[in-house]
Amino acid sequence: MLFNSLAYAVFLPVVLLIYYSLAHRAQNVFLLAASYVFYGWWDWRFLILVWISTLLDFGCSLGIESTRSPRLRRAFVLTAVTGNLCMIGAFKYFNFFADSLAALAAAAGFHIDAITLRVALPVGISFYTFQTMSYTIDVYRGRIRAVRNPVDFALYVTFFPQLVAGPIERASTLIPQIQSRRIVRHEQLASGMFLILLGLFKKMVIADNAAPLVERVFSDPAACSAGQLLGGLYAFSAQIYCDFSGYSDIARGSAHLLGFELTENFQQPYLARNITDFWRRWHVTLSSWLRDYLYIPLGGNRHGTLMTYRNLMLTMLLGGLWHGANWTFVIWGGLHGAYLAVHKLACSNRPRVPQAALRSLGPALKTAAMTLLTFHLVAFTWIFFRSPDWATAFAYCDGLLSLRGTWNIGAGPALAMMALLALDLPQRLTGDHLALFHTRTTRHGRLWLAAGLLMGLIYLGVTRSASFIYFQF
């Protein structure tokens, strides 16, 4: 069920009406049933995978707490992690590795018939498996206690606002909210409705209007001028950000209406001052997941400079592969790994930079210059993220760097970036993700803002229910 569909516009009010009339324990049972309906709306058969993941991690976490034997505890956590990774591997990566092996053999002069498993990718499998894995690992590390109530744990896995595309919630933040009685305050109702409206505006007005331009440019980059390619890159930068952060806003808004608080998944990433800052602001819950469950276990920065760079690169390469079973995603992750390594190296050598030169630049101008540089470095990597194959990506890079044709990027990309800046700049300046809504804005100002967003949806919104980009991951 899509957030931007008529089905969800009916589903959410019905859920709220029943939910508000129930006691706490009954609310959890009802939310679990509603979450299964929400997910099964695409294909009820995918629910089987959700149930397998739920039973696997629920049982293994109880097994971890039931024994003091280090060997058995490791066996339980390895069973849970291996089981979840096998599910992702079978449905998401089996064809990728089979085709890659066949291509490698062909390059070496051998012929191998690749065995393929042509099945539909279950929606959100990468998100809910990462969420359940983090739970079992945290139980193993002694950071949280295993949940004894199967309904509570199943709801943690399938809570419908964030089930399909995150945020990837930690058990330590979401499970206590599930286990405790929830009181929906007036402020939560108001902020929830505002977040849903804001998310729909981002998705339907900015992202979906940018999509045709992006498709046109990426479908045949060789036929485009350098200006058109740059405009297409700006348009996709706006599209993917508004598409994904719009989903997160709607998820958080829906959760607010139910009395839950979900993690803020985006914190104005295109206003980041360096690449490390960007990854603190982009897809926050995935970034922290990769840090805590991959980068730090690999050794983090504890074993010298070279090992730190290795760990950064491995983490980002695997983060790229998490996004999709294609070598273009691996390149995207590798570029970000290289950026992070170079930034870390630059920070360690910062005393060599003449301080007088930095002071003469001025703090405001220096911040603006670093922000623009960071944005364009990130935008360049989106070429590989969006391109369906290497040939398209390299043709795009070649056309962009050739400086051919005119440099007119067009009005569409410029308007998309201006709309983005208008939404994000107040949040960045105030440090408040609801700066447009909170008490700094008068009551009449809120009404005018909500009316403006609503009018934008009515007159500029794309009415077809376009899927969210991150559903494919």
pTM of the prediction?
A: 0.89
Residues 6+ apart with CB under 8 A from 156: 131, 135, 147, 169, 171, 174, 175, 178
pLDDT given at position 470 = 72
Q: What does the pLDDT average to over 406-416?
A: 81
Label residue 454 exposed, middle or buried (CB < 10 Å: 0-12, 13-18, 19+).
middle
Confidence class for position 408, pLDDT limits 50, 70, 90: confident
Nearest CA-CA partner of 172 in 203, 141, 193: 141
Angle at 171 between CA 169 and CA 174, to 5 degrees: 65
Q: What is the DSSP letter of 41?
A: T
User: Which residues belong to the active site?
Assistant: 323
Which of residues 464 and 393 earns the better pLDDT score?
Answer: 393
Which of residues 413 and 440 earns the better pLDDT score?
Answer: 413
Kindly state the tokens that stand for 296.
């730090």
Nearest CA-CA partner of 3 in 251, 265, 224: 251
pLDDT given at position 444 = 66
Query: How far from the centroid of its chain's Cα atoms is residue 52's Cα?
Result: 24
Inter-residue contact 72 to 65 (CB < 8 Å): no
Q: What is the pLDDT of residues 168-222, one digit of tens each?
A: 999 999 999 999 999 888 888 988 999 999 999 999 999 999 999 999 999 999 8
Residue 388 φ/ψ, nearest 5 degrees: -70, -20
For the chain, the distance separating the N- and C-terminal CA atoms, rounded to the nearest angstrom, is 16
Q: What is the DSSP letter of 203?
A: I
Which of residues 303 and 176 earns the better pLDDT score?
Answer: 176
Judged against a pLDDT cut of 90, whether residue 417 lies above it is answered with: no
Judged against a pLDDT cut of 80, whether residue 274 lies above it is answered with: yes
Kindly state the tokens that stand for 161.
């606002």
Residue 410 φ/ψ, nearest 5 degrees: 95, 160
pLDDT given at position 161 = 93
Helix (H, G, I), strand (E, B) or coil at 207: helix
Confidence class for position 334, pLDDT limits 50, 70, 90: very high
Query: From CA 211, how far away is CA 197, in angstroms rounded?
Result: 20
Judged against a pLDDT cut of 70, whether residue 437 lies above it is answered with: no
R_g of the chain, CA atoms, integer Å: 23
Inter-residue contact 239 to 214 (CB < 8 Å): yes
Confidence class for position 438, pLDDT limits 50, 70, 90: low
Angle at 114 between CA 108 and CA 117, to 5 degrees: 150
Inter-residue contact 195 to 249 (CB < 8 Å): yes
Kindly state the tokens that stand for 200.
């729909």
Inter-residue contact 231 to 399 (CB < 8 Å): no
Domain boundaries in the chain? 6-182, 187-472
Q: What is the DSSP letter of 265?
A: -
Judged against a pLDDT cut of 90, whether residue 234 lies above it is answered with: yes
CA distance readout (Å), 272 to 189, 250, 304, 363: 31, 23, 27, 15
Q: What is the pLDDT of residues 304-313, one digit of tens each?
A: 788 888 999 9
pLDDT given at position 456 = 80
Which of residues 1 and 209 earns the better pLDDT score?
Answer: 209
Of 29-43, 384-398, 435-449, where does mean pLDDT reach its minimum?
435-449
Of 4-13, 395-404, 409-418, where does mean pLDDT reach its minimum?
409-418
Q: What is the pLDDT of residues 100-138, one digit of tens each?
A: 666 676 667 766 665 666 666 778 888 899 999 999 999
pLDDT given at position 350 = 58
Q: What is the pLDDT of residues 20-48, one digit of tens each?
A: 999 999 999 999 999 999 998 878 888 99
pLDDT given at position 52 = 93
Question: Residue 407 half-sphere exposure, CB side, CA atoms within 13 Å?
Answer: 3
Q: What does the pLDDT average to over 269-283?
A: 93
Which of residues 241 and 95 earns the better pLDDT score?
Answer: 241
Q: What is the pLDDT of residues 356-377, one digit of tens each?
A: 555 556 777 888 889 999 999 9
Alpha helices, H only, 44-185: 47-66, 70-88, 94-107, 125-141, 150-158, 171-179
Q: What is the DSSP letter of 307?
A: H
Alpha helices, H only, 362-401: 363-386, 390-401
pLDDT given at position 429 = 77
Q: What does the pLDDT average to over 57-69?
A: 93
Inter-residue contact 119 to 49 (CB < 8 Å): no
Residue 276 φ/ψ, nearest 5 degrees: -65, -40
Judged against a pLDDT cut of 90, whether residue 285 lies above it is answered with: yes
